[in-house]
Amino acid sequence: MKKIGVYTSGGDAPGMNACVRAVVRTAIYNGLEVVGIRRGYQGMIDSDFDRMETRSVANIIQRGGTILKTARCEEFRTPEGRAKAAINLKNAGIEGLVCIGGNGSYAGALALYNEHQIPTIGLPGTIDNDLYGTDYTIGYDTAINTAVDAIDKIRDTADSHNRVFLVEVMGRDAGFIGISVGISGGAEGIFIPEQEGEMDKIIEHFDHTERRTKAFSIIVVAEGDEYGGATALHNVLKDRYPDLNVRTTILGHIQRGGSPTAQDRVLASRLGYEAVLALLRGEGSKAVGIERGNVVLTSFEDAIGKRKKVDQDLITMAEVLAR
Ligand code: ATP
């Protein structure tokens, strides 16, 4: 293998740049040429390629977002779109790929591998931490720290006015962000997709009038909880407790931005490095992750098809600590 391509795809995540940097520098160190593919699969279809040098990734380790940009690309979901991409890659002499993205990006890489035999190594780049085959995804640590920082600030104002604050965090299908932010933000309630019945505890809590009127509370709500997010939950609470001084904050995309934490930079660097070594060993169609401190390779089929679960012990612990 003489030339590889690297791309970021799906939702951006802090640490993607640190990962691109690691891929580029490891590849060059090992005598490979590296091409940056801009805007993910769209860039593959449009031949939006750019040769990368050691210096092209200088001064990006601390930057959020992705210098390669990212995109969602409907055309790549079709065999014709993927055939176009494969021709462009072959014409550019690209013999292997590193894909930094989430579940959908892995699905695209698997299809490209099955149909056109282009070896691809996937790296988990998503703030949601919902990918099988790795304990943590790139961007998750930064996202939860951003959210906790916001909660600490909300706490100050909630305390001053004896208000109840519902804070919505990202997580349409998974509660990893919700549970971590809830625990570290000291929340009284945590609503995540994996858990039903949280409302019973909230009712038990707020049925005490003094807790509604004389104390403040922080409740963390994932977008995909059983009520469908913080705004819906706000309405449910107001209907039941008209005297409740409740405010809702949706953290939204600020969770995606910002400078990656040291932990995300180390994770991204390590995964980027390992991805290139895996390609050089002749691997393809696999995702690299870190489990219990060790580098592990997982087939794309498993990484896409299997589900990583929020630790039930954490949910139980959160309930105890919120009392
Ligand atoms: P995030 O977790 O941040 O949403 P993601 O990688 O899951 O990231 P998606 O939008 O699901 O993001 O996928 C990114 C791109 O991958 C899509 O825009 C599409 O081009 C491609 N893709 C997704 N699923 C498939 C599939 N089944 N077959 C081919 N390509 C796919």
CATH number of the CATH domain containing 10: 3.40.50.450
Return the ∠ at Cα 284 (arms to 103 and 287), rounded to 5°. Answer: 35
CA of 110 to the centre of ligand 1 (A): 11
Euclidean distance between CA atoms 286 and 35, whole angstroms: 20
Same domain, 133 and 145: no
For the chain, what is the mean pLDDT? 95
Same domain, 22 and 96: yes
Burial 182-194 (b: 16+ CB within 10 A, else e): bbebebbbbbbbb
**Would 320 be classed as within a structural domain?**
no
pTM of the model: 0.96
Who lines ligand 1 at CB under 6 A? 9-11, 41, 72-73, 76-77, 101-105, 107-108, 111, 126, 128
Residue 115 belongs to domain spanning: 3-139+260-305
Using CA positions, which residue lies closest to atom 23 of ligand 1? 104
| Catalytic annotation, pick one of 12, 48, 128, 141 | 128
Same domain, 30 and 134: yes
**Would 242 be classed as within a structural domain?**
yes
For residue 242, how many other CB atoms are within 10 A of its CB?
Answer: 7
- CA dist 214 to 160, 162, 206, Å? 11, 6, 11
Q: What is the pLDDT of residue 163?
A: 87
CATH number of the CATH domain containing 214: 3.40.50.460
pLDDT, tens digit (0-9, with 9 covering 90-100), for 77-110: 999 999 999 999 999 999 999 999 999 999 999 9
C-alpha 236: how far from chain center: 29
CA of 312 to the centre of ligand 1 (A): 28
Write down which residue in 256, 289, 318 finishes a domain: 256
pLDDT, tens digit (0-9, with 9 covering 90-100), for 241-267: 998 889 999 999 999 999 999 999 999
Same domain, 65 and 175: no
**Would 269 be classed as within a structural domain?**
yes
Same domain, 226 and 134: no
Q: How many domains would you assign to the chain? A: 2
128 is catalytic: yes
Same domain, 185 and 271: no
